[in-house]
Amino acid sequence: MQFISTRGSSPAVSASEAILNGLAPDGGLYVPEYIPSVDRAFVESLCPLTYAERAAKVLSLYLSDYTHSELLEYAHAAYSRFETPDTAAPTVRLTHNTYVLELYHGPTCAFKDMALTILPHLLTAAMRKNGISDKVMILVATSGDTGKAALAGFADVPGTAITVFYPEDGVSAVQKLQMITQSGENVSVFAVKGNFDDAQNGVKRIFSDRACAERLAARGIRLSSANSINWGRLVPQIVYYISAYCDLLNQNAVAYGDTVDICVPTGNFGNILAAFYAKKMGVPLGRLICASNENNVLTEFLQTGRYDRLRDFRKTSSPSMDILISSNVERLLAELSGHNGSEVAGMMSALVSEGSYTVSEELLRSIRELFAAGNTDDAGTYEAIRATYSAGWLSDTHTAVALKVLENYRARTGEDRITVVASTASPFKFAIDVNAALEGSEVRPDLDGGTEILDTLSAKTGVSIPEPLSGLDSREKRFKVSVEPADMLSAMEGAF
């Protein structure tokens, strides 16, 4: 299987080259040249398997220059780090027609672990396959979740090193502790004196600094990124939607062929796009419901066909979805336009130059056949946390956005199909808001409650704090250096 650029003017490459390159040379994203299909026998053959075994079989369909035994080895290495390795991402029943797909049982308690635990293995294998003997240095600017998941994924993986920059006053106390206590000989973490944009711009400057690239090349180091535009982050996410369908079959919740809807709390559009691929592969999935918070650019886009990033940015209780430019939409446009590279390139350049674009009538029709969309605010999010807790399950804020949007969708359409809601974080990662919601509050607390709030939430609910988040305060704080944005490059070069 080859991979082509969404913008149509780069050469097709193998899977390992797509993972190595991240972005295509024409600025587009890599998509598979065709979507492999699976049949009933294939899906049923996955049902008795462990999560890692399911993953290897699904990944093999896309990553054809990796052997099945390589993929199985990497999947084992990745998912054996989860709370219950055999069922890394369990599908749990909430009500007769609502199930949650728990994607947060990995080493950092957020769904990004599903991809970032296996990506380092895919990437280092891609280096070997393409005859590159350099060490790969991963560079990340983070507003919270991604940095920690990337650190945990790459820590002590041979042939790699990782440097993470986070905004000094832009992450929660728990997120900061998670990062600065990270173990591993090949990891390095810096606070940046500035906001997330300062950190992100600093990382972009390092990537485009040719003199820096030459100095690193002389030391046998090559820079790379672990962000969600890499195909190596998307493809592991397709696995869990197919795995969820197997779980429903195993639980006798559905018979093969029964259609299941999917509802996803969405930011960069990666997670819900993976559901789109699973559906296109032939898994009996129905409507894909895209849930957003007050940053409702995707709701509007999927309903009207107009993508308009020119609007106020809102800080919400679901910060990982506070995004105005959802990069992975570009892949959807490529797939639904029949890989019309010039059409996609036109829309992407309008987004940069004018801040918006509108899809053709035909494209909008395909979007509407596949997707539904909705959004909610913090009050709606808190309401969903309370309602779900009364029903016996403790939700984080991002998942709660999806649960609220699903409730509204059902009320609006009368639909009552079985729906799997992607649950993207442990409630303890966003304990301040979850706790405030349970106390009946309508608005967000002013103060970051530090780590005590985890104990408060645990005592209140009887749910225990997941191991990766417990005792954070007493772990060794290894990284204490703050740098000016202008000094990020020298900090990184001096770290190893």
Ligand X SMILES: *Cc1c(COP(=O)(O)O)cnc(C)c1O
CA-CA distance, 216 to 61, in Å (whole number)?
A: 35
329 is a contact residue toward ligand X (CB under 6 A):
no
Q: Smaller CB distance to ligand X: residue 275 or 483? A: 275
- Quick check: 110 binds ligand X (CB under 6 A)? yes
Using CB under 6 A as the binding rule, whether residue 269 contacts ligand X is answered as yes
Residue 351: CB minimum distance to ligand X, A: 17
Element containing residue 95 per DSSP (H, E): none
Structure tokens at 294: 């007050």
Interaction between residue 145 and ligand X (CB under 6 A): yes
Provide the 3-class DSSP secondary structure of residue 80: coil
- Complex with ligand X: residue 127 or 288, whichever CB lies closer: 288
What is the 3-state secondary structure of 317-352? CCHHHCCCCCCCHHHHHHHHCCCCHHHHHHHHHHHH
Provide the 10 A C-beta neighbour count for residue 353: 9
- Print burial letters for 210-230: b (CB count within 10 Å at least 16), e (below 16): eebeeebeeeebbbbbbbbbb
Q: How far is the CB of 111 from ligand X (least distance, A)?
A: 6
Stretch that binds ligand X, among 33-41, 52-60, 188-196, 267-275 (CB under 6 A): 267-275
CB of 360 to ligand X, least distance (A): 24
Q: Which amino acid is at 184?
A: G
Indicate the residue among 180 and 323 with the shorter CB distance to ligand X: 323
Judged by CB under 6 A, the residue of 321, 332, 438, 472 near ligand X is: 321
Q: Give the footprint of ligand X on residues 363-402 (CB under 6 A).
A: 398
Give the distance from CA 309 to its chain's centroid: 21
Query: With CB under 6 A as the contact rule, which of the stretches 19-27, 160-168, 261-269, 333-341 interacts with ligand X?
Result: 261-269
**Which part of the chain contacts ligand X (CB under 6 A), choosing from 171-179, 212-220, 259-267, 279-287?**
259-267
- CA-based nearest residue to 145, from 270, 23, 16: 270
Residues 429-488 that bind ligand X (CB under 6 A): none
- Token pair listed for 72: 């199985």
Interacting residue with ligand X among 28, 90, 265, 380 (CB under 6 A): 265
- Helical (H) or strand (E) element with 162: strand 160-167
Considering only the stretches 107-115, 175-183, 346-354, 445-453, report the one whose residues sit in contact with ligand X under the rule CB under 6 A. 107-115
CA angle 135, 137, 142 (to 5 degrees): 160
Q: Which two tokens stand for residue 229?
A: 């535009």
Please count the residues of this chain forming the interface with ligand X, following the rule CB under 6 A: 17
Residue 30, Cα to own-chain centre: how many angstroms?
A: 17
Between residue 411 and residue 440, which ones bind ligand X under the rule CB under 6 A?
424-425
CB nearer to ligand X: pick between 127 and 229: 229
φ/ψ of 132, rounded to 5, equals -100, 120
Per-residue mark of binding to ligand X, 36-65 (x: CB under 6 A): ------------------------------
What burial class does residue 379 get, using C-beta atoms within 10 Å of its C-beta: 0-12 exposed, 13-18 middle, 19+ buried?
Answer: middle
Tokens of 147: 């940095």
| Residue 257 amino acid letter | G
Q: Which of 143, 266, 293, 375 binds ligand X (CB under 6 A)?
A: 266
Q: Is 112 in the site for ligand X (CB under 6 A)?
A: yes
Binding mask 154-193 for ligand X (x = CB under 6 A): ----------------------------------------
Q: Does 327 engage in binding with ligand X (CB under 6 A)?
A: no
Give contact residues for ligand X (rule: CB under 6 A). 110-112, 145, 228, 265-271, 320-321, 398, 424-425
